[in-house]
């Protein structure tokens, strides 16, 4: 299929793109599953307490079993003592299940969302950025001109080097490349922007 391609002057051209990325089946159930797994795996579960067997100290019995008039105890490492182990405390990240995301799931969810953006006219394709944009003010005017104030901008390496610095302080705009965006990023931003070369790089990953 063919899509419109714009340059910074607003002139239109066309570009041939892969149907399986830009005109794929929209599978919302799959997208929801990928988002759930992604969010679950991103959660920082770093809190960890020492269990009884991890506390340093002697394991000897603190006093005789009988004859003291008190309760029976083993070592000072028991959870009921100050400085002992913690019963039922958080066990750190390794204790939690990592939800596996297959490569095919990631690819199909991305294709599904890109297709949806295309149908809703929230997808733009630019010619590669050949000249460097140094000033944030200049980049901001381009973003306003093309109405991409809430957008994920996916660039090829050459274009990214030329505009990344001028775009990184603009709110609600994320500049990235083909290797570093996720399903979550596409959902988060209203519009998705590609360059001609970044589309070719994306298509290589899907071929």
- pLDDT beyond 90 at 31: yes
> CA torsion sign, 150 to 155 to 158 to 159?
negative
55 φ/ψ sector (left φ>0, alpha ψ -120 to 50, else beta): beta
Question: Under a CB-based contact definition with an 8 Å cutoff, are residues 190 and 113 in contact?
Answer: no
- Res 66: pLDDT: 94
In this prediction, residue 168 carries a pLDDT of: 87
CA distance 109 to 105: 6
CB atoms within 10 A of CB 170: 16
Q: What is the pLDDT of residues 105-152, one digit of tens each?
A: 999 999 999 999 999 999 999 999 988 998 999 999 999 999 999 999
> Is the model more confident about 98 or about 157?
157
Looking at the predicted structure, is the pLDDT value of residue 9 above 90? no
pLDDT band at 50 (very low <50, low <70, confident <90, very high): very high
What pTM value is reported for the model?
0.75
Predicted confidence (pLDDT) per residue in 77-111, tens digit: 999 999 999 999 888 777 677 788 888 999 999 99
DSSP 58: -
The answer to whether the CB of 166 falls within 8 A of the CB of 136 is: yes
Note the pLDDT of residue 100.
85
């Amino acid at each position: 299929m063919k899509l419109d391609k714009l340059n910074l002057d607003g002139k239109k051209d066309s570009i041939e793109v892969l149907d399986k990325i830009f005109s794929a089946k929209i599978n919302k159930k799959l997208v929801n599953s990928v988002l759930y797994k992604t969010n679950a795996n991103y959660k920082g579960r770093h809190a960890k307490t020492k269990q009884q067997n991890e506390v340093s100290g002697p394991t000897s019995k603190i006093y005789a079993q009988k004859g003291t008039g008190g309760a029976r105890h083993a070592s000072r490492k028991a959870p009921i003592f100050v400085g002992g182990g913690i019963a039922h405390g958080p066990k750190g990240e390794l204790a939690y299940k990592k939800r596996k995301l297959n490569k095919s799931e990631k690819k199909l969810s991305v294709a599904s969302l890109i297709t949806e953006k295309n149908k809703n006219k929230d997808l733009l394709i630019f010619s590669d950025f050949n000249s460097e944009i140094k000033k944030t003010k200049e980049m901001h005017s381009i973003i306003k001109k093309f109405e991409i104030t809430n957008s994920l901008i996916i660039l090829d390496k050459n274009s990214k080097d030329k505009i990344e610095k001028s775009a990184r302080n603009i709110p609600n705009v994320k500049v990235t490349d083909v290797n570093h965006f996720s399903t979550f990023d596409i959902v988060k931003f209203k519009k998705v922007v590609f360059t001609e070369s970044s589309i070719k790089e994306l298509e290589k990953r899907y071929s």
